[in-house]
Structure 1
Amino acid sequence: MHTRTTARRRAAMALVAACTLAVTVAGCGGTTKVDTKSESTDKGSDSKADPNAPLKKGLRIAFLPKQINNPYEVIVDKAGIDAAQEYGGTAKEVGPSDASASSQVSYINTLIRQKQDAILIAANDPNAVCGPLKQAMSRDIKVVSYDSDTAKDCRQVYINQAGSEEIGRSLIRNLGKQLDYKGDIAILSATQNATNQNTWIQFMKDELKKPKYRNMKLVKTAYGDDDDQKSFQQTQGLLQAYPKLKGIISPTTVGIAAAARYISGSSYRGKVVINGLGTPNQMRNYVKDGTVEQFSLWDPGKLGYLASYAAAALSSGQITGVEGEKFNAGKLGDYTIGKDGEIILGPPTVFDKSNIDKFNF
């Protein structure tokens, strides 16, 4: 009898201890039904946007680039930080020195603890940052991706540099004007399976179907695999295989620089037009020596500026990230949120002798 009583007492004490432990762990951040709800992603679907709400003063936002000292990212983030001053907020840039997939996670966790109003991220990996970004949103910290998107459910909006269709069609439009809409052309791409390149090329081909391009013919799409030397050799091969070639479009920064380098030191200089996507610093000399008349890319300063205003609009309740919502982005004017929370900056910027020295990236 004594043995049974003792056993019952021990069992009861063990049960109490287990319950006490469970409560203690839950209070330190363990998962309970309440915790699960609080950790769920809240993209603002239950809240309603008020487009007439004023921008809040004193907002605190943080830019988290792929890599802290990347010259391109510095321009983006500085413009966004300056924009915050316009609407009475404060902004900063933090981030890793390397661009590995998980290098941004610890910074997100720190920004959550600091209770920032918004985190703006150029994701190194679309999925590696999702967990902490969802935690941020569950704590009413707004998340804006820019330049490089996260998975769609890990942010409220994504600021895209330019629409894929606009990039592809504008490259053909620009080259067409330079060639007076006549002659054989070629494309020097990156890799054969590069999603963005192939999307742009498809729109290029579609643009070429329009009547005004009837005297322009795409003779070849070559692939330099985003390797400088291979792109250089592919340019040489195109010109040897197609002696009547009048223009080359390279929608990759590596390819256009390699093509320009080859043309600049050959008899084709001044005879074959090079166009595509490049950065001002890598293309400056080729523009100034006449090898390249123009090329395109988006203005990184405007990208950061727009991202900053989008974060402010989210934090102030003007938008929630739903398609069709509108907000004002200061000197850039009004913007409308598109499908999947995408906001497109606008047409690519065309760089030439008149403006190239205004940019440093």
Structure 2
Amino acid sequence: MSSSPALRTPAARRVCAALAAAALALTAGACGGTTKDSAKEDDGARTSGAKADPNAATKKGLTVAFLPKQVNNPYFTVADKGGEKALKELGSTYKETGPNSATDTSGQVGYVNTLTQQQVDAMAVSAQDPGALCTALKQAMKNGAKVVTYDSDTKPACRHVFVSQASAEALGRSQVQLLGEQIGYKGDIAILSAAQTAANQNTWIGYMKDELKKPKYKNMKLVKTAYGNDDAQQSFQQTQGLLQEHPKLAGIISPTTVGIKAAAQYLSGSKYKGKVTLTGLGTPNDMRQYVKNGTVEGFELWDPAKLGALAAHTAVALSSGQITGRKGEQFEAGDLGTFTIGDDGVVDLGKPTVFDKKNIDQYRF
């Protein structure tokens, strides 16, 4: 979430269609092209008329490249190692490449172009921006590469399958639900996000805002959304700024692993420790000390290693012709089980896990 635990998912499309005005909570890219006609065009572009053969043999010797939003980001390191392990077991080759900054969109485009020139069999990409990679990814598909997005999507026409951490709606609403329980459904709250263009963040925030409209949250008020750009120092400073601007803040939601860790670091050494509640998406290894010292009561996340592994299995299944990205197709993903492709070529990993003092030592990632 980067993950930086950023793009249009079927859930984002549904919230745009169902809520109309609430769609303004999402970025323009997150809600772009939501008509039935454009959905059909997207499906056609993505599947290119190919037919799946679920009984086809799994190809070996493939080269699958992982292109995260940011290399050396702890979250993506875990996710991509999960992909590497899965590819080794499948008899294919793993490689990783990508920008050093989570906001270097033009750089990410350049890496896609390079991978296309290198004629990799497939690429797993976590998109920094909803539409910026589309031209490059479409060229990659035209050249025969299978394109999987994971963690953060692009437009459906620009990839074959999106491997989602969980449904966007479940992730957005559950973070508000968790914070509400922790603060007694009362007080001003803020959101510390990644980049303003991070589509997964924006989609989740859209659902957070919609969840807050429910009667039980009538005494909770979202006063600000800040952006730390998935940079530890910026996120730390944004947390400090939020509390200077809103000293009576009751809670903060940070739906990004970099952001929540930086916010916890600031809170743990400040007068706000134990007074301002922090939750969001983080890794157990990053957040363990802050849960144990009382800075954080509980937070949530999926297992990023499993997300990377599912992206790898999906890429190989596509390359083997077992799936094309059409709704209803199924494929096996080793120990992860059997998965079914949903609307707009999306596969959900599963429900997030809440980590607290009772269970955090059971997880090591």
TM-score (norm 1): 0.71
Counterpart-to-counterpart distance in 1, 2:272 and 2:136: 53
Whose Rg is larger?
1
Pairing 1:96-135 to 2, within 5 Å after superposition = 96-97=99-100, 100-105=104-109, 107-135=111-139
Deviation at 1:238, TM superposition (A): 4.4
Is 2:192–2:253's contact at 8 Å kept on the other side of the alignment?
Answer: no
Pairing 1:1-361 to 2, within 5 Å after superposition = 43-97=46-100, 100-105=104-109, 107-178=111-182, 182-190=184-192, 199-204=203-208, 206-207=210-211, 213=216, 217-226=219-228, 227=234, 228-235=236-243, 238=246, 240=248, 245=250, 247-253=251-257, 256-257=260-261, 260-261=264-265, 263-265=267-269, 269-270=273-274, 273-280=277-284, 282-353=286-357, 354-355=359-360, 358-360=363-365
Counterpart-to-counterpart distance in 2, 1:82 and 1:147: 18
Secondary structure in 2 aligned to 1:317? coil
Is 2:192–2:252's contact at 8 Å kept on the other side of the alignment?
Answer: no
Structure 1 residues 155 and 183, CA gap change in structure 2 (3 angstroms): closer
Paired position in structure 1 for 2:22: none
Counterpart-to-counterpart distance in 1, 2:137 and 2:252: 42
Deviation at 1:92, TM superposition (A): 2.1
Structure 2 alignment gaps of length 5 or more: 1-43, 229-233
Is 1:224–1:255's contact at 8 Å kept on the other side of the alignment?
Answer: no
Counterpart-to-counterpart distance in 2, 1:231 and 1:339: 37
Secondary structure in 1 aligned to 2:105? coil
Secondary structure in 2 aligned to 1:331? helix
Counterpart-to-counterpart distance in 2, 1:261 and 1:316: 45
Structure 1 alignment gaps of length 5 or more: 1-40
- Of stretches 225-234 and 307-316 in structure 1, the one that deviates more from structure 2 is 225-234
Deviation at 1:345, TM superposition (A): 2.2
Counterpart-to-counterpart distance in 2, 1:134 and 1:193: 24
**What RMSD, in angstroms, separates the aligned Cα atoms of the two structures?**
3.5
Deviation at 1:110, TM superposition (A): 4.6
Deviation at 1:77, TM superposition (A): 1.6
Counterpart-to-counterpart distance in 1, 2:144 and 2:270: 58
Deviation at 1:132, TM superposition (A): 4.1
Deviation at 1:45, TM superposition (A): 3.3
Deviation at 1:347, TM superposition (A): 2.2
Equivalent pairs counted in the alignment come to: 312
Counterpart-to-counterpart distance in 1, 2:185 and 2:70: 42
Structure 1 residues 302 and 220, CA gap change in structure 2 (3 angstroms): same
Secondary structure in 2 aligned to 1:103? helix
Is 1:49–1:320's contact at 8 Å kept on the other side of the alignment?
Answer: yes
